A and B are shown apart, each in its own frame.
Chain A
Amino acid sequence: MSHADAHAMHPPTATGLDTRKLAIWTFIGSECLFFASLISTYLVYKGKSLVGPLPHDASQCMLDGRMQQCEGVFEIPLVTFGTAVLLFSSYFVVKALSGAQRGNRKQLIGWLSATVVGGLFFVGMQVYEFYHFFHKGLGYTTNVFSASFYTLTGFHGTHVTLGVIWLSTVLVLAIRGKLPPEKALNLELAALYWHFVDVVWIVIFPVVYLMK
């Protein structure tokens, strides 16, 4: 079945556009405002913590029941590597979509698997980072930096996790041979969400990790 035939199977819409694609873009638009509120909160509280640990600089903090000198918590090389993996996963899913649209099952499954692995690596990096921060004395309620940081990056990590689950379900469909070219939109919708998660991180990475 050609792509044009597949389009012909759907009833016409007022806009002439697929309603599912319209819905995902509307959802992505609303998500922009959601993350804007979290980024605003982080920036408003930036530099206003009264006790450490702090993101970049050494400070006095409560660790092991006593006040002591603590180093900055951020591990820029690790987060940079995670960022690169997330960026490349966007390229991987574009290649997978290209395979789905052309009916190239090998390309679809290979690149989609790579995307899922990239997403899992990013989530693993974030779990490791949170664990590492907690053992440096940075709990959720330690200071305003920790509360706003964990809320912002935690919600982003949750979005990445949901993206990995969504892409994994599409991968299972592809492996079972249930994602022919006329159903490539199923992957395109997941890919749009995945790219959005990527662009949010493109903003969070410099704003949170690189601006002192």
Chain B
Amino acid sequence: MDGTSTPAEGHTHPTPALYLRIAVVLFVLTALEVGAYEVARRESPAGLAAIVVPLIVPILLVLSAGKFALVAMFYMHLKQDSKIFSGLFVFPLLLAAVIIVALVALFSVVHLVP
């Protein structure tokens, strides 16, 4: 059982149970994000904070990317739908990521306030 079903129109869609599991995973990942934030903010317990504080940005980015991928692949059906739709979404998404990184990098070396 791979968690997908085949309705009359021929596309394979995730089963209701898989949709629910994804919702639970999304909730757990959000809880982990907020948990990491709280540990970093309060810097306690000391041992855990020592690990989390320097890694807080990568941790949040990875968790966020995981949630994003789950919603896009399963709830938006990109995993099952035509690859043309995936292309229409993924190409601008990559472009958007490049724009964000480029602008942040540019303005980190240019002083806004003289």
A22 touches B88 (CB 8 A): yes
B60 touches A212 (CB 8 A): no
B44: shortest Cβ distance to chain A, in Å?
16
Main secondary structure of the interface of A (DSSP, over half): helix
B96 touches A32 (CB 8 A): yes
B107 touches A44 (CB 8 A): yes
Contacts A33-B99, A87-B27; is A195 near B89 (CB within 8 Å)? Answer: no
- Contact of A36 (CB < 8 Å), options: B13, B41, B67, B99: B99
- Contact of A90 (CB < 8 Å), options: B57, B71, B107: B71
A37 in contact (CB, < 8 A): yes
Which residues in chain A, 132-166, are within 8 Å of chain B measured between CB atoms? Answer: none
A40 touches B8 (CB 8 A): no
0/1 string, B86-114, CB within 8 A of A gives 1: 00110111011101100110010000110
Contacts A199-B71, A211-B60; is A43 near B23 (CB within 8 Å)? Answer: no
B76 in contact (CB, < 8 A): yes
How many angstroms between the C-alpha atoms of A185 and B101 in the bound complex? Answer: 36
Q: Which residues of A contact B84 (CB under 8 A)?
A: 15, 17, 22
Which residues in chain B, 6-39, are within 8 Å of chain A measured between CB atoms? Answer: 7-9, 13, 16, 19-20, 22-23, 26-27, 30, 33-34, 36-37
- Contact of B23 (CB < 8 Å), options: A28, A87, A192, A195: A87
Main secondary structure of the interface of B (DSSP, over half): helix
Chain B contact-residue range equals 35 or more
| Interface segment, one of A62-70, A172-180, A201-209 | A201-209
Q: Which residues of A contact B100 (CB under 8 A)?
A: 36, 39-40, 43
How many angstroms between the C-alpha atoms of A7 and B7 in the bound complex? Answer: 14
B48: shortest Cβ distance to chain A, in Å?
16
Q: Which residues of B contact A26 (CB under 8 A)?
A: 88
Q: Which residues of B contact A29 (CB under 8 A)?
A: 88-89, 91-93
Residue on B nearest A77 in the bound complex, by CB: B34
B38: shortest Cβ distance to chain A, in Å?
8
- Contact of A33 (CB < 8 Å), options: B34, B75, B92, B107: B92
A32 touches B104 (CB 8 A): no
- Contact of A44 (CB < 8 Å), options: B9, B60, B88, B103: B103
B50 in contact (CB, < 8 A): no
Residue on B nearest A79 in the bound complex, by CB: B34
- Contact of A17 (CB < 8 Å), options: B33, B37, B68, B82: B82
Q: Which residues of A contact B112 (CB under 8 A)?
A: 44-45, 48
Known: A88-B23, A210-B33. 4 other contacts (CB 8 A): A17-B84, A87-B27, A91-B22, A196-B76
Top 9 A-B residue pairs of the complex, sorted by shortest distance between their CB atoms: A36-B96, A29-B92, A91-B23, A3-B9, A206-B60, A40-B103, A25-B88, A210-B37, A44-B107
Could you tell me which A residues sit within 8 Å of B by CB distance?
2-4, 7, 15, 17, 21-22, 25-26, 28-30, 32-33, 35-37, 39-40, 43-45, 48, 50, 56, 76, 80, 83-84, 87-88, 90-91, 94-95, 98, 101-102, 192, 195-196, 198-199, 202-203, 205-207, 209-212
